[in-house]
């Protein structure tokens, strides 16, 4: 995999040279169309549609890989490879399901494969979280992300280590990646009610670990 040297300037794939894509002269407001529509157009060899999908979801893919591998270079490689696999498997995407949930499964599997190759099997949500917190890309203004600044970052990172695997995963999806409840349910293959209760107790535990600094939205 070709490694990007700057995440903000480099997309995970060379979009203009991807096999099978073509330029389109049709006027479309790509920024405001749904993921399902973008996938449909990408399957019709619309390069702009695929590029929009990548730009829309790349930060979440990178952030997820970084949180699971705790290695910035590996996270860049995995996020790039994830979109290569998306391109190869677009026909397998189910249009009535959230694209973000499908992408999450691809990224998670790539992270699992990496960790297994490096003799860290089954350590995805436990031992890979070390004492030093990585520098995360800005994910917006969710309550948890407001804490990921300067001295607070280390505090949050240490608290995340003390959550269970399931608790940490759902915090990543909701408070780092801003997934909807439906998207989380699809990504984890669990009922919506389970998502809501698991997130409630995970946030409650995290708030206790942080000494009351974390707020629920």
Same domain, 22 and 119: yes
Contact, 79 vs 65, CB < 8 A? yes
pTM above 0.95, yes or no: no
**Rounded-to-integer distance, Cα 44 and Cα 57, Å:** 20
Structural domain boundaries, residue 151 = 134-217
Query: Where residue 106 sits, what CATH number does that domain have?
Result: 1.10.1740.10
- Report pLDDT digits (tens) over 98-111: 999 999 999 999 99
Alpha-carbon distances of 199 from 30, 48, 124, 205, rounded to whole Å: 33, 36, 19, 10
CATH of the domain at 165: 1.10.10.10
Greater confidence, 9 or 79? 79
Higher confidence at residue 157 or residue 78?
A: 78
Instruction: Say if residue 113 is in the same domain as residue 149.
Output: no
Q: pLDDT tens across 23-75, in order? A: 554 678 888 999 999 999 999 999 999 999 999 999 999 989 988 887 889 99
Q: pLDDT band at residue 119, thresholds of 50, 70 and 90? A: low
Per DSSP, 46 falls in state B
Whether residue 148 sits in one domain with residue 186: yes
Q: From CA 147, how far away is CA 155, in angstroms rounded? A: 9
Same domain, 13 and 115: yes
Please tell me the distance from the alpha carbon of residue 69 to that of residue 127, in angstroms, as a whole number: 10
């Amino acid at each position: 995999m070709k490694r990007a040297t700057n995440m903000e300037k480099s997309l995970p794939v060379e979009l203009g040279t991807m096999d099978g894509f073509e330029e389109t002269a049709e006027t479309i407001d790509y920024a405001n169309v749904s993921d399902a529509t973008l996938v449909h157009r990408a399957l019709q060899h619309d390069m702009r549609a695929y590029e929009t999908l990548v730009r829309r979801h790349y930060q979440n893919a990178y952030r997820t890989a970084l949180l699971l591998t705790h290695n910035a270079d590996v996270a860049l490689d995995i996020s790039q490879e994830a979109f290569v696999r998306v391109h190869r498997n677009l026909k397998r995407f189910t249009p009535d399901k959230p694209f973000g949930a499908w992408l999450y499964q691809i990224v998670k599997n790539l992270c699992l494969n990496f960790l297994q190759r490096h003799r860290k099997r089954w350590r995805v949500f436990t031992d890979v979280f070390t004492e030093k917190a990585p520098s995360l890309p800005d994910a917006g203004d969710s309550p948890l992300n407001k804490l990921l600044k300067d001295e607070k970052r280390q505090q949050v990172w240490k608290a995340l280590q003390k959550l269970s695997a399931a608790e940490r995963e759902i915090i990543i999806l909701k408070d780092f990646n801003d997934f909807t409840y439906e998207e989380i349910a699809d990504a984890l293959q669990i009922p919506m009610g389970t998502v809501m209760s698991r997130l409630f107790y995970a946030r409650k535990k995290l708030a206790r670990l942080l000494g009351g600094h974390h707020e629920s939205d």
